Structure 1
Amino acid sequence: MSPSLQKIDIHSAHADGQNSDDVLTIAHALAQRLAKTAVERDQVGGHAATERQWIRSSGLLTLSVPQEFGGQGASWETINQVVRILAQADSSLAHVFGFHHLQVAGLQLYGNAQQQRRLLTATVEKQIFWGNSLNPLDKRTVATRLEDGYVLNGVKSFSSGSVGSDWLTISAWDETTQSPLIAVTSSNQPGIQIQSDWDAFGQKQTDSGNVHFNQVFLPDDLVLQAPGKTPTPQATVRSQMAQLIMTNLYLGIGLGAFEAARTYTKQQAKPWFASGVEQSSDDPFIQRRYAELWLLLRPAIALADSAGRELNQVLQQGALITKEDRGNLAISVVEAKCLAHRAGIEASTQLFDLTGARSTSSKFGFDRFWRNVRVHTLHDPIDYKLRDLGRYLLDARFPDPTPYS
């Protein structure tokens, strides 16, 4: 299995109605296109409007929409493989792509039949690019009840994909019930101001700034989960989908770093004078380091793929998903995410040990791999993932269903 990107002309392939092999062919082609400007765009930051349009034009935004609503009905195993492929080239836009599909999944998990038909059909027909303003830990956006809906006021941070989006998934705090509501709204709704003010040192083009709500009217028919309502086991699977998207982001970054290092070692690296070899790739210490890195990445890939298959199996049960189904899936996802976290950080760090001082030139942009994975792996602390796994191993206790576990 080669971690390298496949070179295919994106203009020669179309995603609609194709099988998973065709989808992955398009993903490889799109990744190859994004890779051409990834270093420059990472250094500049900001909103990648042109590249987001490439994603829209590829047909890949309809992957997760069921066929009955005009989408492709792809499995989550396939969707996560696309996230991983794109992340090898551009983890920021892979993030935006993955979170688009997370919002689409939320419509299916939280929305009623009428909401699903309306919004999922529109996603296909209008080529909607979904953004996220659902940050559950940020309770500054408050919902006040009206006769036929709510009015929203406040701000939401870490709103990935919000800049340039067509619609948003949002959450707001209801003071009366002391609980959140989950809803959707047009990004162009009067009173919504989306700020392009994301300034982290990594994942620079994820459009993850702040969204401000000023007297925004939210009608009842756009509320997916009303305040005070306890989510079903089926609905709580959304957090596992989010965690697997992140898992595959980390793996994609790790694989991208590995391939960048491998290519540089084979083509440009100078052997250390004491090695006694003419090519860096013939240095036994370099060879050993590559082997050890791959033995971090390979099992992480295996666990991520296994968890992806389990997610598909759980989702097929629909409303019959049990707490045990959800709990077993959560453990599989914890295992995969922890391994991907470590593999991504190690690959992006050891890259420089393998390639040497000249590889730190800004023209290569190799530092982006470490910066991107380091920023994103702080999304939620790995220590609590390890705690969940250890607690399960010792007490057979499943992780408590939260937006992060």
Structure 2
Amino acid sequence: MTINNQAPLATDPAVYEGYAAKWAKLPSSEEEWLARAREVADVLRQDATERDAVNASPVAEVELLKHSGLLKVLGRTKYGGGGQPWSVGYAVTREVAKGDGSIGMLLGYHTLWAQIADVVGSEEQADALHKVYVTNNYYIGGAVNPRDNDLKITDVGEEITYSGFKHFTTGAAISDLIVLEGALASGEHIFAVVPTKQPGIEFAYNWNNVGLRLTESGSATVTDVRAPWSAALGWKDKKIDPAVLGIAYPTLLLPLIQLVFSNFYLGIAQGALATAKGYTTTTTRPWPFGGDNKDKATDEFYILERYGNFYAHLAAAEALTDKAGALASVLTAKPRAEVTARERGEFAELVASVKVVNTDTALRVTGGLFEVTGARATASKVGFDRFWRDVRTHTLHDPVAYKNRELGRYVLLDEVPEPTWYT
């Protein structure tokens, strides 16, 4: 791995430049997209532990995603995008997360933000965003953290300005475009997508957390960043457009976001199990003092039992996750006015179920893999801890206990949740 002197410390894109030619042709089917994602995961897996330890800004890794074409998976075909449904976008994120949770997360967030205008904007706004990001192969980050209601929007005539502070801006510091979310004095919120590289956006580069260390999720200060009113997603003539934001369809945004999370949780856990398997079958030794001694670790009852249990839970989690991904594809493909509040609510409850199951399963698998690998597997150079650290970090995004409570009301009272920033 090569490190250069960009500010801050950043990985060098030259490391991956050979993949631009290798992946010059965009995948054309779901199978090909998944195969490309697996290739990317294989590349990232080789030095994921080392890159995690260095904690350098993943400039090179975003460039690798660009070379792969994965940033275009949901992009409109008329501009050179993949034209795939949401289900494929989720599956591609999951595959990349198997090799490196941080980069899987970056891809998942980009895939969501690249579609934000499709969900909460007008058709004209959506088409414009696709044209820009697909034709330029742009990576999109976000400064969207609802708990920090710190970006203030001011109407300055033909434009609006954003000013304030965001604690978390995943992927934004290494992005080409950034999604800004803020509030007018009236309390109404507006999303807009603007170029990242401009004087009014200053990143602190202060992301140094337990897990997901290569996501550049640190804070940013935004000062008088301008966007035309025409870029205010779902707004028209300085007012909320009821034909766009006055229906159930745009409230799909929050469950769509939550399903991104669950897919990279699952991918990280699946990658952890595969990595542990490689270690157990080659390195783990049988226990010689149990009274039922075996010649190989793979003959140990408790090891076989644990792997079987982990596999079963991951298989069930994957089936549930795929079910939600399929429904996401169906709902987002419907005419906007035909999506009902009840449909949206039931989708949100399915996604909440996925969040609960994948959180529990991913934490269990990534923490439990040490039981089937042995004491020597705790060495830093082995790097098994990164899987648990990545899952543990993001599963704190919003308390899963509230998802359980929400599901309880759905089961007992047949209530679907009111759309909020987290449901």
Aligned length: 396
1:236 aligned counterpart, secondary structure? helix
Query: Which has the higher mean CA deviation after the structures are superposed, 223-232 or 40-49?
Result: 223-232
Picking from 341, 354, 367, the partner of 2:385 is 367
Say whether 1:389 aligns with 2:407: yes
The residue matched to 2:371 in structure 1 has which SS? helix
Deviations 1:188-229 (A, max 9, x none): 233111232112110001111112111222221221144874
Dislocated runs of 4+, deviation >4 Å: 9-15
Whether the aligned pair in 2 keeps the contact of 1:77 and 1:312 (CA below 8 Å) is yes
- Of 340, 351, 354, which residue of structure 1 is paired with 2:372? 354
Match of 1:342 among 360, 378, 390: 360
2:14: which partner in 1? none
1:152 counterpart residue number: 162
Q: 1:311 aligns with which of 328, 331, 334?
A: 328
Deviation at 1:297, TM superposition (A): 1.0
Contact conserved, 1:202 with 1:372, CA < 8 A, in 2? Answer: yes
Q: How many Å separate the matches in 1 of 2:366 and 2:303? A: 15
Shift of 1:115: 2.0
Match for residue 56 of structure 2? Answer: 46
Quote the residue 2:87 is aligned against.
77
- Offset at 1:12? 4.7
Partners of 2:350 and 2:24 lie apart in 1 by: 33
Kept in 2: contact 1:105–1:238 (CA 8 A): no
Residues 5-84 of structure 1 mapped to structure 2, 5 A cutoff: 12-14=22-24, 16=26, 18-84=28-94
The answer on 1:276 being equivalent to 2:286 is: no
Equivalent position amino acid for 1:313 in 2 = V
What is the distance in 2 between the residues matched to 1:212 and 1:249?
A: 28
C-alpha deviation, 1:262, in angstroms: 1.2
2:118 to 79, 83, 108: 108
- What's 2:5 paired with? none
Do the aligned partners of 2:27 and 2:36 also contact (CA within 8 Å) in 1?
A: no
Identity %: 31
Tell me the TM-score normalised to structure 2 length.
Answer: 0.90
Determine whether 1:400 maps to 2:409. no
Q: Deviations over 1:293-312 (max 9, x none)?
A: 11221110110001111111
TM norm structure 1: 0.94
Which amino acid in the other structure matches residue 276 of structure 2?
A: A
Match of 2:348 in 1: 330
TM superposition shift of 1:68: 3.4
Task: List runs of 5+ in structure 1 lacking aligned partners.
Answer: 1-8
In 1: Cα distance, 2:204 partner to 2:137 partner: 23
- Do structure 1's residue 251 and structure 2's residue 269 form an aligned pair? no
Tell me by how many angstroms 1:15 deviates.
Answer: 5.4
Which residue does 1:168 correspond to in 2? 178
Q: Residues 88 and 255 of structure 1 are in contact (CA less than 8 Å); yes or no, is this contact kept in structure 2?
A: yes
Tell whether the 8 Å contact from 1:250 to 1:373 is kept in structure 2 after alignment: yes
Contact 1:15 1:26 in 2 (8 A): no
Alpha carbons of structure 1 residues 17 and 270: separation in structure 2 relative to 1, 3 Å: closer
Q: Secondary structure at the match of 2:317?
A: helix
Matches within 5 A, 1:108-257: 108-175=118-185, 177-226=186-235, 229=240, 232-257=247-272
Listed as ranges, the gaps of 5+ residues in structure 2 are 1-17
What does the per-residue CA deviation read over 1:84-133, in whole Å, with 9 as the maximum and x for residues that have no partner? 11111101011110100111110211222332222211111111110011
The Cα of 1:179 is off from its aligned counterpart by 2.4
Letter of the 2:194 partner, please give it: T
